[in-house]
Structure 1
Amino acid sequence: MLSFQTALTFFGISLVLGLSPGPDNVFVLMQSATQGRKAGMLVVLGLCTGLVVHTVAIAFGLAAIFAASALAFLVLKVLGAAYLAYLAWGAFWAPVSAETNINANTLRPRQLYLRGVIMNLTNPKVVFFFLAFLPQFVSAERGSVGLQFIALGAIFIAATIITFGSISYFAATAGQKLRGSATAQRWMNRAAAFVFAGLALKLALSQR
C-alpha cells in the first residue's frame, strides 16, 4: 500500500491542483454564486462521483484503453461541449425573481448533482490527467497497483471536496447579496452563461 509520506505528498499536491484555475472549479464557483452554497456543494459531490468512476477505470486499466481511442475522445469531447453549451443557453435566458435571495431558476438537488457528474464524465481531459498524474505515485514494490490507484483516487477526492467546498462557500457568500437583486441575478446569470460558453469552446477545441 501507499506509504504515509507518499500519501501526504500526493494530498498536498492535490490541494494545490484543486485551487488552480480549471473548468471544474470555475464551474463550482459560478454555480455557487448564482444558486447558493448548497447548490455548489451538490455540484461538488457530483464532480467527485465522476472522479470515483475515473478512479475505478484507471485501477482496472479501462482508462488506458479509452485513452488509446481517438473516437472515444472525440465523442466525449463533443458531448461535453454540447452539454456546456446547453448550460450556457439556460443560464443566459434564466428567469429571475425580485424577492430577496430567490433565483427563479433554482434547480432541484438531483439536477445540481447530475450537473456535476455529467460535467466530470464528459471531460476526456480528466482521463488523461489521471493517467499522467496517478502513476507517478504508484510502485509495484508496494503491492497491488490497482489498490494503490484506488487509494490515490480516494485521497484526490478528499482534497477536491476540501478545495472545491471552500470555493463554493466563499463564492456563495459573495453572491448572497447579489442574489437579492433581480438585476444582479440577471447579470450573474449572463456571466455564468459566458463562462459556460467559454468552457464549451475550450473543450471543443482541445486536442489529445
Structure 2
Amino acid sequence: MSLEFFLTSLFVVITPGTGMIYTLACTLGFGLRSGLLGALGGTLSIISHITAAILGLAALLHASAMAFQVIKFAGVAYLIYMAYKMLRDKSQLNAQALGHDDAQPRSDFIIVRDGILLNLLNPKLSIFFLAFLPQFVDVNAANPVVDMAMLGGVFMVMTFGVFAIVGVAAASVRDKVLAQPSVMNWLKRGFAATFVALGARLALSEQ
C-alpha cells in the first residue's frame, strides 16, 4: 500500500461529512460511548459501498439514472428525517434531561443503525470507491478483488480512527457544553441544519 493511498484516504476521511457530524452529535448528546457507536455505524456503512464497487454495482448505478435517483432521494429523505428528529427529540442534546452523566435515551442498536443508514443511502460513495480503489491496485495483481477489499479495510480503519478522535475531542468539552443549555440548543439547530445542507448537496449531485 502506497503512501499516496494513505494520504489521499486521510484527506477524504477528515473532510467533514454525515458520519463525522453524527459522531459529534451522539457524543455531545449521550457521551463518548454513544459517539463511538455512532462512529462505528458510519464506518460499517462503508462495507456496502466497497462491496458494491467490487461487484460492479456502482457501475450499474452510474449507468442507470433511475436507480441512482431512487437511492439518492431515499438518502436525502433520511437526512431530512434525521434533522427533523434532532429538532423534535427533547432528550437529545438536552442538558437538563441528560444531566452530566452518560445516560443513553436511545438504544445502542438505534445509534449504530442510524449511523449506517446515513451513509448507506448515498450512491455517490459507491461510485467514489469504484473510481478510487482501482487506482491503487496493481494491474498485474494475481487477485485484484482481494487487493481492493484490503484497501477498503484500511480505509475503514482510518475512518473509524478519525471519527473516534473527533468523538474523544467532543467528549473532553461535553461537560462545559452541557452546562450551557442555550449553547446546546444552538448546537442542536446547527446539527439539524447541517443534515439538511448535506441532504441538499446530495439532492443536487449528479452521477
Unaligned runs of 5+ in 2: none
Query: Which residue does the alignment assign to 1:93?
Result: 88
Contact 1:102–1:180 under 8 Å retained in 2: no
Q: Are the equivalent residues in 2 in contact too, given 1:33–1:171 (CA < 8 A)?
A: yes
1:101-152 alpha-carbon deviations (Å, 9 max, x no partner): 2699832111110111101110111112111211110123121111111011
Aligned pairs (5 A) from 1:98-177: 98=96, 100-101=99-100, 106-177=105-176
Aligned partners of 2:202, 2:65: CA distance in 1, in Å?
Answer: 15
Quick check: 2:18–2:118 contact (8 Å CA) kept in 1? no
How far apart are 1:26 and its partner, in Å? 2.8
Alignment correspondent of 2:46: 51
Question: Identity of counterpart residues, as a percentage?
Answer: 33
User: What are the Cα deviations for residues 53-107 of structure 1, in whole angstroms up to 9, with x where unaligned?
Assistant: 1222222222222222111211111111111111111111221352522699832
CA contact (8 A) 1:46 1:114 kept: yes
Aligned to 2:18: 23
Structure 1 unmatched runs, 5+ = none
Give the drift of 1:159: 0.8
Q: Do the aligned residues in 1 keep the contact of 2:30 with 2:103 (CA within 8 Å)?
A: no
**Secondary structure of 2:186's match?**
helix
**TM-score with structure 1 length normalisation?**
0.87
The letter of the residue matching 1:51 is: I
CA distance in 2, matches of 1:176, 1:82: 33
Q: Give CA deviations for 1:143-199 in whole Å, capped at 9, x if unaligned.
A: 111111101100100111111111111123223322244443333222221111211
DSSP-derived class of the 2:35 partner: helix
- SS of the equivalent of 2:106 reads coil
94-103 or 166-175, which deviates more:
94-103
